[in-house]
Amino acid sequence: MATRSLWRTRTKLAVAATALCGGWAAATVSTSDDPATALKLCTAVPLRLVRDSVTAASIAFDYEYSLFGLPEGSSERAQVKHEVHLRSARKLQELCFRNGGIYIKLGQHIGQLEYLVPQEYVQIMRESMLNKCPVSSYDQVCEVFKKELGETPDQVFEEFDPVPIASASLAQVHVAHTHDGQKVAVKVQHTHMTDTAAADHATVELIVNTLHKFFPSFDYRWLLDEMRESLPKELDFLLEAKNSEKVMENFRKLSPYIANYIYSPRVHWNLSTSKLLTMEFMDGAQVNDVKTIRKLGIQPHEVARLVSQAFAEMIFKHGFVHCDPHAANLLVRPLPSGRKSILGKKEPQLVLLDHGLYKELDFSTRFNYAALWKGLIFADANAIKENSVKLGAGEDLYALFAGILTMRPWNRVIDPAVDHLVIQGTEGDRSELQMYASEYFPQISELLRRLPRVILLMLKTNDCLRTVNNSLVQGSSPETFLIIGKVSSKAVIEAKMSQNKSFLNYFSIWLEEIYLEARLFSIQIFMWLLQFRKALSL
């Protein structure tokens, strides 16, 4: 009886939402300055809403019906819940692919939320959302070329492969050769994105607001603000091209010691518009393709170190951060100079792709975020609390914020032992965090609502980097936290020196720097001992 009642309630919600959207659609068409475009929008929104509502109702019913009567904590309930998680994740996956566009980006984001969703969802989204996106037809590609450059691809280029080598949520990439013989990668925006982006945003806004009205603890309205701000930027490929040049300029000016190890494809400005982006073609291995990386003569742990160093520099020193560093956007190739390490292995170069989503951190945010990570590395509970509060977590949720950043339980975060973060997390830690995710879902939602949008993107970036690191070194890397500790500590010291240039301040900061270097060196020694012990056991 209870499940039938639930089903009726979900169905009523779906029907009411669809009717509401239909009324909104009619009003939008009648008042729009561009009725044709408005009609496209208003026919797309109800269709997406029906799909969303049916999927949501189906998932909710599956959970309630399948778990009904099974005692909490029983092995039978755990097995059934695992199966429901898998079924529901596949339903959500299918919904993302059918709706396309923004929904695929949302699916990619779900694949990084280890602290919020069951592992089954994370695994299925990660396996499918990066490399299996819908593809635009060649006719649609030609349509974009004619609108943007006035000619077809075959006229613009000497050669143009009509079959894309990659397709993402907003665009796809084709290989071409210019008339002077250069091999290039051409990023072509999906033809439907301009219209469906607005439709997707309208649909997600309606669903999120409706869910919050009926279930106040489910408050993801912050997502609407982020989509509203970031999507137009991601759809402007000229802005993406400017970002790609700016990030390289930052490395040359602010981090010259690793600038040669970071690369961004050169832009062909005369063949680029807001919906077409022509770049130098890059050969390399995806950053999570460990087998190919080894074939290139590169050590995966060297790649993990370079990724950590590059993004720590961007976050804590440059304040201009690539916020979509998933595996498909990071390539690895041997350093073009041919330089090798002491052990005779080729040194890696990290190639940054897809520069559509960047975030700038102002001085205060960058300083507080660096100070927070410094506190996390050195298990300084007071610094963790102080800087978490400054960043918006509040005095009641700072411990939760620290746990999400490190993927460690609070007792591990503040453990004074030198290895509190540098050793690999256990399955027990993962189970404990998954328990927190289900038990403290309202608190996590509240934390995400409170945090500034720029910090939410730092969380997303952090999640992507953790996934990349885990694929390279099969678990947590000691050097990752050591690098973060070094760069964040140096950024804090430099910020303090810029704020107060008195001799006394310089002296106190100098003493602090010596102390921090000594602690970091002790962690380095511990890491070497761990590696030596591991080598002896092999």
Average pLDDT over residues 179-199: 85
Q: Is the pLDDT of residue 528 over 90?
A: no
Q: Cα dist. 77→68, 71, 431, 432 in Å?
A: 9, 7, 16, 18
- Per-residue confidence (pLDDT) for residue 201, from 0 to 100: 74
Among the options 52, 289, 324, 463, which is catalytic? 324
Q: Is the pLDDT of residue 191 over 70?
A: yes
Average pLDDT over residues 497-511: 63
Residue at token pair 């390490």: 341
Q: Considering the chain, what is the average pLDDT of its residues?
A: 80
Average pLDDT over residues 524-533: 61
> What is the C-alpha separation between 263 and 333, in angstroms, rounded?
10
| 144 against 504, higher pLDDT | 144
Q: Which of 342, 348, 373, 330 is nearest to 258 (CA)?
A: 348
Average pLDDT over residues 178-199: 85
- Per-residue confidence (pLDDT) for residue 2, from 0 to 100: 37
pLDDT digit string, tens, across residues 64-83: 889 888 888 788 988 998 89
Instruction: Identify the three-state secondary structure at position 291.
Output: helix
Q: Is the pLDDT of residue 129 over 90?
A: no
Q: Which residues contact 256 (CB under 8 A, 6 or more apart)?
A: none
> What is the C-alpha separation between 345 and 332, in angstroms, rounded?
14
> 235: how many CB neighbours lie within 10 A of its CB?
18
Average pLDDT over residues 379-395: 93
Q: Verify whether residue 324 is a known catalytic residue.
A: yes
Tokens standing for 7? Answer: 């089903």
Give whichever of 196-210, 379-393, 408-422 has the largest mean pLDDT: 379-393
Structure confidence at residue 444 as a pLDDT band (50, 70, 90) = confident
- Per-residue confidence (pLDDT) for residue 3, from 0 to 100: 39
Q: Is the pLDDT of residue 313 over 80?
A: yes
DSSP assignment of 453-514 equals: HHHHHHHHHHHHHHHHHHHHHTS--HHHHHHHHHHHHHHHHHHHHHH---HHHHHHHHHHHH
- Phi, psi dihedral angles at 358 (to 5 degrees): -120, 155
- Per-residue confidence (pLDDT) for residue 363, from 0 to 100: 93
Q: What percent of the chain has pLDDT over 90?
A: 36
- Contact of 271 with 156, CB cutoff 8 Å: yes
Please tell me the least confidently modeled range out of 233-237, 330-334, 461-465.
461-465
Please tell me the least confidently modeled range out of 10-14, 296-300, 338-342, 415-419.
10-14
Q: Is the pLDDT of residue 463 over 60?
A: yes
Kindly provide the b/e burial profile for residues 350-365, where b requires at least 16 CB atoms within 10 angstroms of the residue's own CB. bbbbbbbbbbebeeeb
- Per-residue confidence (pLDDT) for residue 446, from 0 to 100: 83
> What is the C-alpha separation between 298 and 337, in angstroms, rounded?
14
Average pLDDT over residues 461-483: 79
- Per-residue confidence (pLDDT) for residue 290, from 0 to 100: 94
> What is the C-alpha separation between 347 and 338, in angstroms, rounded?
8
> What is the C-alpha separation between 324 and 314, in angstroms, rounded?
13
Give whichever of 6-15, 417-426, 447-456 has the largest mean pLDDT: 447-456
